[in-house]
Structure formats: C-alpha cells, structure tokens
Amino acid sequence: MHSMRHSNFIILISLLVGLWICPVMAVAEPVQTDSTDYDPVKGNQQVKKLIGNIEKKPVDPGQYESLRNEIAGHLRQGEKQQEVLQKEVEGIDAALKALGDKVEGESARLAKERAGLGSMRKLKEAQLAEYRLLAINGKEALKRLEVKRQEGQRSRVLGKEAPLWSLVTELRRSAGERLLPDWAKIRQGIQAVTEHQVVALVLSAFLALWLFAMLAVKVERYLDSDRGGSLVLLVALINRHSLLYRLGLAIVVGVTSASWLLLPRDEAASFLPWLSLSLLIALLLPALAESLCRSTGQSTLGGILSVPQRWLVRLAAVGAALLVFTLGAPDLDLVSEPVSLLLRFVVVCCTTFLMALTIISLSCFIPVLRARGRMLRFLLFVAAAVVLYLEVFGFRAFSSHLLSGFAWSFVLFAAAVMVLDLARAFFAIVFDNRHRMFERLGIRLDEGDEDELLRGIGWLRAILKFILAVSILLVLVEIWDFAGVYAQAIVAFLVNGFEIGKLLIVPARIVLGIFIFIVGWSLTLWVKKILDQKWEQEAALAESTREALLTVTGYVCYVVAAIVGLSVAGVNFSGLAVIAGALSVGIGFGLQNIVNNFVSGLILLFERPIKRGDWIVAGSTEGYVKKISVRSTIIQTFDRADVIVPNSELISSPVTNMMFNDPRGRLKVSVGVAYGSDTALVRRLLLEIAGGHGEVIVDGSSPRPDVFFQEFGESSLNFDLLCHLKNIDSRVRVRSEMNYLIDAAFRRHGIEIPFPQRDIHIRTTA
C-alpha cells in the first residue's frame, strides 16, 4: 500500500515537472533591463504625444493594455526620480543651513561654496519641476485613456452592424463564393502548435486521467450525496456513465486546461482552446445541470429527469458549446462574412430556444423557480425576444454581451452552490467528528463548553457567508457592466473607503478586522479549554488559582484579538488620549458603577476572598459561588436559583465565607430533655453520637466535640452539642443524621424530649 502511494506521488510530481518545463522551454527569452538614464523632457513629450494620439483616433481594444503600461512606466520613473531629487534638495538645504546666514566679510571660499550650493539647488528644483510635470501629465493621460476605453467599449457593445436582411441580399449576390470552409487555414492553425506545446497537452491529458482514476471514486465515497451536495452528485453522475465517456471527459479537461494556459486565444489561427472548451461544455453541462437539480430538489441518485428532459438538456449543452465557439473563438476566415453571420444567427436562435425550454423544464426541481413559474416563463420569453431582435437588426455585440452575461451568471450560480455545499459538508463533518477532534487535542467537552465553542464557529460561518455574498455581487456587476465602470467603482469604494470629516472608513478593512476578531475570539475559547484541562492535572495549582488564571488569560486574549482587529480595520490608536478623556468624562457621569464593578472583579480574581464553590452569605443571599467574572458574580442558592451580584457589593459590603481558607466548620445541634432526666447520661449519649460520626473531626486538629448545658428552659433542660466537621458544606446532612441518632438513643434510654406545656388557673370571683 505504501509503495503504491509513493509511486503515485512520483508520477504526479513527474507530470507536474513536465508541464512546468515545457512552457518554460517554449517561451524562455532574455530579460531586458530598463535603462538607468531617463530624460523627463523626452518623457513629457512622449506622454503628450500619447495623449494626442488617444484624442485624435480611436484606440484598438488590444492596445489599451500596452498604452497603459507605457504611460505607467513614465509615471513610475517620474515618481521615483521625484523622491531622489527631493532627498537631494533636502541635503542641499541642510548643507546651506550648516553654513549659516550670509554675513559681510565672509571668506571667498565660503561664499563660493554657498553660491555653488545655491546653483545646484536651482538646478535640482528645475529637474524636480520637470518630473512633477511628468507625473501630472502621466496621471492625466491615464485618466483620458480610461475614459477613451470606456467610450470605446460602449460604442463597440452598443454599435450597430449590418442587419440580417442585408446579409441575405449580399449572400445572394455572391452565391457560390466560399460557401465551404477553407481547410488549409485549419491545417495551418493546427501546425502552429509547437512540439513543446504538444508534449504539454499530452502530459496534461495523462495527468487528468490519473486524477479522475484516483480521486473521483474517493470523493464520492468520502461524502454521501446528502452532505456533499451538488459537487458529490456531479462526481457520482460522472462515475455512473460509461468508461468511454469518463476517459473522454478526463482527456478534454486536461487538454482544455493546458491549452488555455499555453496556447494563444486571440490570434486568428488559434482555435484549439475554444474547441476544447466547447467540447468540455458539451460533455459536462448535462451532468452539471442534473446535479444542481438534485442538490436543490432531490438528493437521491435515482431517476429524477425523464428521458425527454435528458435529451433536451443534452441538445441545449451542444447548442451552448456551439454558441461559445461561435462567439468566443477568433475569426478564422474560413467562410465568407455573410455565411459566417448567418450561421451565427442560426446557432443563437436554436440555442436560445433550447435554453429557454430547458430552464422551464428543469424549474420544477428548483423550489425558488417552481414558485414563480409564470414570471420565469415571461422573463425567458422577453430575454429570447430581445436577443433575437438584436441579432436581426445588427446589434450583435450587444447580443453577445447579453448571452455571455447569462452564461457567466449560470457559471457563477453553479460555483456558488458548490462552494456552499462544500462548506456545509465541511462544517457537518467537523460537527459529527467534534468529540474525536477534541479528544485528539486533549479536550473533554461538556454541554456548556460545546455550545460556547460552536457559537464561535457559527459567527465564523456568518461572516464567511457575508463575504461570499459580497463577492458574488461584485462578480455579477463585473459580468453585466459592459463598460467596466461600476465594478471598478465598487471595488475602489470597498478598498479605498470614504471620509467623514478626517475619519477614513474602509469597508473591506472593517470586514477583515471583524473576521480576525471572530477568529481570535474562537481561538481564545479553544485555548482556555485546553489550558483548563492541562492545568487541571497540575497538583500545585488550586482550583481557584486555575480559574483566576483562565479568566485573566481569556480577557488578555480577547483584548489582543480586539486590538489586532481594530488595527486591521483602520482604527488610529494615536487618538486614544482623546478617547481616554471622553471615557473619563463618561465615567464621571454615568459609567462609575461599570468601572467600579470591573475593578472590584479584578480584585476578587487576584485577592480571591471568595472562590468558585465557596459557601457565602452576602446580605440576604446565601449559596454557593458559581462563577466569578469581571463585572459580576453568580451565586447559586440552595433552591438552585442563580443570583447575579455586582462585584462592587462583594467588595464594599460584609461577606460571610463559610469556606474561606479551610473547608472545616463548626456544627451546633440543640436539644432539650424533660425535667428530671439524667443530665450525665444525656451528655454521654451526645458525645458518643458525635464521636461516632464519620464527618466529625476527632483527631485533635480541631476542638473535640463537647456538650454544654445551656439553660433551664420553661419546659425543658436545653443542651448544645458542638462539633467540628471536615467539610462545612455537609452541615445540613450531618445535622439531620445526628438528629435521627439522638432520637433513637433517647428512646432506648427512656429520655423524654418534652414539648412546651402551660398550666392555666381560672380564678372565679363571687
């Protein structure tokens, strides 16, 4: 088994190395270094020339990136030289300051040096002005280039071409000319692939085959269909197909990934990346659509789609593949333009019709779409009509944008569903195996600890869902924004933020700070539990000491997590003096009790006048200390009611601690006997009962049990039995047991315990 794993690992490494070496050998070129000498005057002239060219004539879409890089290079040089010259000017100013003010009669050498420094400073200032002008022109050129790009993008998308009827007329005029593809150009496109790229494509195909063979079945076995969601259902559906289908899909996946990484996609002779992508869509889309229907509707692997529905999905997948190749692949110039545009119209019409029917047919498996069937059919009809209208009247770029928007929206929807399913499966696995994971960490969980730890995971899931929702929204805006303006504006808003007065608020940093604080808070809970059970094994640490250390450690970790989160969120700690002043005013008016309780809690934790488990009496509250926090202390009464007592009351008011330094305590049992009873016998019986009880201390470490004749009562002789117990916490139980024993002993010896009696004398008068 181990040798097989090692061999598989060696094969994987070899394939990855081969994939890395091939493109490196194919594209390795000598690296050109930038010249260190830069003339700002020529740079300004070149930037102005670029601005003039941008304003005069439209820029080709492929040239925007090169123009932006060229302008950015000039701007970068200008900013870099500005920093250098600024430092030189500051050095010259420092030298002039060291020479002092000009005075009459100074030496010629000093005057010459001062004049030289002044001339040098003027020269540097002139050069600095040139670089500043270069920076201004460069920024202005970038702004104009971006505006020109947006205008060009809008004009290309919204531009009108020849309508469909003019193409039909032109096709009639040129009947018989280039109606068949030019196969020579196809051969040239295939021959353009180099030997290194062919080797990389073959290695990628073998790597994909190996991954499918090793991982597909394991993924399906590792997660069941209920937890794995759409991804596991997709893998299961692929595994249920024939071996030929799986081999073909693996080869297409490997070739598609390698061709998109190695081969050019925008050259006229390159169509292999788009061809492999189209084949991948045709093979994978039916299984993907069925897995999404199963994950949102039914999760079993039984028959969910009927035979007509399956064939409809397959035809729609083939149409989508043809549509992607038709709209995405570069113009191969295989046929004449009218024939190409008519074929495009046929593909768009058929695919739009098939896609609408497929969505309507599969909407019954998705609850959200099933509840809005009429609205869905209306929207699909409107979308199909708009696309066909744009194709007929020549707005083909806009039609392509709408179709690509729908396609990318579907890809985004599928990716979001799979990511959520994977996250849900991951958290389900963690929840089911939490006890095993905690045992490996040496943690024993009770119900309260488990709820507290899982609460942190819940907050983490919530913030991750929020980040995912915002990311999906940004991608949707990027997909449908044909000018590329709104997506950039939203990203700039999230990353750069906005100012309120002098306060800069950056939403992205705030969300990241909240995420870091939640992670720190969750880790603090885990660290406290690990330390608690680790210190529990240390005999030198008392329970109260361990609790105090855990409380302080927890608050320190919380404070550190809060400080790190606030720092990442962009909070400026230089203004803490102002905040401290505001807090002092707040403390003076309304926060006195809160601060008093906080300080009192720290005193209780460090001085430990009371500890968890102590039996205390605070005012009218008597019970056991359940928890000591920084603000308050929870006392559980004998009726098991929790009383929350502010810490300031425990510091400023008298508190009786029955178990302060020693759990031992004195028990007093009072009993009365009838007049005429043998008092010596009463004393002996009480001492025997006390001495024979296991909880009474008789070894001399505390006063021995004793009996005191207290008084002659109205109807009884009253005695008090005083004894010290090993644990005063058992006082109620021991008193009850002794009362039973005293009653039994007195009955055996004929000692009567009287009840109050009164004699009433009635006097009568004549």
* Pairing outcome for strands 655-657 and 665-673: unpaired
Q: What is the C-alpha R_g of the chain? A: 43
Residues 6+ apart with CB under 8 A from 427: 457, 461
Single-letter code of the amino acid located at 141: A
- DSSP three-state, residue 724: strand
**Which residues are paired to 355 by β-bridges?**
none
Between the two ends of the chain, the Cα-to-Cα distance in Å is 122
Collapsing DSSP to helix, strand or coil, 719 comes out as strand
pLDDT band at 374 (very low <50, low <70, confident <90, very high): confident
Instruction: Tell me the pLDDT tens digit for each residue of 226-251.
Output: 555 677 777 777 777 777 887 888 88
Higher pLDDT, 384 or 551: 384
Token pair in block for residue 379: 């929207």
pLDDT at 713 over 60: yes
pLDDT digits (tens, 9 = 90+) for 277-328: 888 888 888 888 888 887 765 544 445 778 888 888 889 888 888 888 888 8
Q: What is the reported pLDDT for 333?
A: 63
Higher pLDDT, 711 or 178: 711
Q: Is pLDDT larger for residue 286 or for residue 545?
A: 286
pLDDT band at 629 (very low <50, low <70, confident <90, very high): confident
pTM value is 0.62
Question: Is residue 607 pLDDT above 70, yes or no?
Answer: no
Identify the bridge partners of residue 722 per DSSP, sorted by sequence position: 668, 706
Q: Is 21's pLDDT higher than 50?
A: no
**What pLDDT score was predicted for residue 447?**
53
Mean local confidence (pLDDT), 552-578: 76
Tokens of 207: 């790597």
Identify which of 378, 402, 375, 408 has the alpha carbon closest to the alpha carbon of residue 388: 402
Q: With 60 as the cut, is the pLDDT of residue 188 above it?
A: no
Mean model confidence pLDDT for the chain: 75
Query: H or E element: which one contains 136?
Result: helix 108-158
- Using DSSP's 3-state secondary structure scheme, residue 685 falls into helix
Q: Inter-axis angle of helices 243-262 and 2-27, to 10 degrees?
A: 40
Nearest to 54 by CA among 41, 70, 40: 70
Which of 33-42, 206-215, 278-287 comes out lowest in average pLDDT? 33-42
How far, CA to CA in Å, does 651 sit from each of 108, 596, 648?
81, 10, 5
pLDDT in tens, 319-356: 888 888 888 877 666 667 777 778 888 888 888 888 88
Q: What pLDDT is recorded for position 719?
A: 92
Task: Supply 556's token pair.
Answer: 């320190």
Confidence class of residue 536 from pLDDT cuts 50, 70 and 90?
Answer: low
Residues ≥6 apart with Cβ < 8 Å to 150: 483, 484, 485
Local confidence band at 22 (pLDDT 50, 70, 90 cut-offs)? very low
* Residue 703 φ then ψ, to 5°: -55, 140
Name the 3-class secondary structure at 443: coil
Instruction: Report the pLDDT value the prediction gives residue 377, as an integer from 0 to 100.
Output: 85
Say which residue, 725 or 575, is predicted with more confidence: 725
Residue 451 backbone phi and psi in degrees, to 5: -60, -40
The predicted pLDDT at position 227 comes to 53
* Residue 78, pLDDT score: 78
Residues 134-168 have pLDDT tens digits of 888 888 888 887 777 777 777 777 777 778 777 76
Q: Which residue has the tokens 């909240």?
A: 514
Mean pLDDT check: name the lowest of 30-39, 578-587, 708-717: 30-39
Task: Report whether pLDDT(589) > 60.
Answer: no
Mean pLDDT of 367-382: 82
Give the number of other Cβ atoms within 10 Å of residue 756's Cβ. Answer: 9
Name residue, tokens 């600095």.
128
Q: Which tens digit of pLDDT belongs to each residue from 63-97?
A: 777 777 777 887 887 778 888 888 888 888 888 77
- Tell me how long the chain is: 766
- Look at residue 292 in the predicted model and tell me its pLDDT: 81
Report how far residue 73's alpha carbon sits from residue 75's, in angstroms, rounded to the nearest whole number.
Answer: 5
Beta bridge partners of 622: 617
Percentage of residues in the chain with pLDDT exceeding 70?
75
DSSP 62: G
